[in-house]
Amino acid sequence: MEPTAGPRHSSSPRAESLAARLAALTGRQPRVSVDGCRTRIEADLPPQLTNTQCRMLYLALADTDHCGIHSDGYAWAELLDLPDPARLTADQRAGYACTLCGLTLYTSRFLGTVNGVQLWACSPAC
């Protein structure tokens, strides 16, 4: 195995681990897309799942920040990888500037709380 060094922009270790679990469970390669600090994974489900596969699916999805099963026959999950507030500017920590792009916020969306700091970003997206 190649050692992974440096920043990875495609996805996080958590997202890769979930994608691998879903691939093993469904026998298909999940679709992974990254939007800012949000990684979305979609996995097509086989027409039939055994009880064991269902339980594994729910356990895998339970580790995520948002998830669901689409009526078109795929499971989706979103993972948020929020930055360490210590690396942000004072304005970003105070919610005056976007956590992701650093611009002044007018309309904002809540990303989550890290170490007691609420993080906000441009809405709908930057």
15 phi and psi angles, rounded to 5 deg = -65, -40
Closer Cβ to Zn ion, 20 or 101, answer by number: 101
43 three-class SS:
strand
Q: Within 10 Å of residue 83's Cβ, how many Cβ atoms?
A: 14
From the CB of 66, what's the least distance to Zn ion, in Å? 20
- Cβ nearer to Zn ion, comparing 59 with 101: 101
Phi–psi pair at 53, nearest 5 degrees:
-65, -40
Please select the residue that binds Zn ion; options are 35, 101, 109, 123, rule is CB under 5 A. Answer: 101
Question: Are 43 and 74 in contact, with CB atoms under 8 Å apart?
Answer: yes
Check residue 32 for interaction with Zn ion (CB under 5 A). no
Binding flags for Zn ion, 58-97, as an x/- string (CB under 5 A): ----------------------------------------
Nearer to Zn ion, 23 or 37 (CB): 37
Min separation Cβ 90 and Zn ion, Å: 16
Contact 40, 32 (CB under 8 A): yes
Q: What is the three-class DSSP state of 52? A: helix
Binding residues for Zn ion (CB under 5 A): 98, 100-101, 122, 126
